[in-house]
Amino acid sequence: DAGVIQSPRHEVTEMGQEVTLRCKPISGHNSLFWYRQTMMRGLELLIYFNNNVPIDDSGMPEDRFSAKMPNASFSTLKIQPSEPRDSAVYFCASGTSGRSEQYFGPGTRLTVT
Amino acid sequence: GQQLNQSPQSMFIQEGEDVSMNCTSSSIFNTWLWYKQDPGEGPVLLIALYKAGELTSNGRLTAQFGITRKDSFLNISASIPSDVGIYFCAGVGTASKLTFGTGTRLQVTL
């Protein structure tokens, strides 16, 4: 069975550019989570969706960040405009509502110069 | 954001040795998860614990849910080179929100 799929795996962009990260959750899962991992702050939850609806976006750092989930098999995390401090590894995870287990994708390493 | 305290922060062990690590929190959690992360990859779920006092095994891995519900422990028996990586605990709070530990980096020498 395919796990969570993320693209791209690596992204290098210049400050001020728009960045879009993509995620395909595990088929049948109805919860989707976006995380950011840095050395300083570890793994932080940015936003999560249940049945394609954003439930909690309190972890989104600021208005430059936005996330969408137009259908059960696709989600995007957009940063516009990007800044060097956004450099991090961004993970998508999926699960089933009512269960605690979350399954992570391989991540997108973002570098903003 | 909040991170749970994991110890040790890192450890070197010899192949074949047993490993113990723990995770502590100031808050109570109803579920504990343990993940392993290899370089350049996402965290992989190893074990899930659902009840205080629960002891669960997955091959050479054994984890326990502390009776106070504020801590959890992971043991690895007879370590092998592929055990190298970073181990994270995660406490599950309301609405399935995970709070991760600071990680334990395991390195195995032959």
CB proximity B43 to A under 8 Å: yes
For chain A, give the mean pLDDT. 95
pLDDT at position A2: 85
- What is the rounded average pLDDT of the residues B48-69? 95
For chain B, give the mean pLDDT. 93
pLDDT at position A71: 96
pLDDT at position B56: 96
Contact call for B97 and A101, based on CB within 8 A:
no
CB proximity B102 to A under 8 Å: yes
pLDDT band at B2 (very low <50, low <70, confident <90, very high): confident
Q: Looking at the partner chain, which of A31, A41, A44 has a beta carbon nearest the beta carbon of B96?
A: A31
Q: Which long-range contacts (CB under 8 A, 24 or more apart) does A46-55 make?
A: A46/A77, A47/A77, A48/B95, A48/B96, A48/B97, A49/A75, A50/A97, A51/A97, A55/B95
Q: Which residue has the higher pLDDT, B3 or B59?
A: B59
pLDDT at position A98: 87
Look at residue A55 and tell me whether its pLDDT is greater than 70: yes
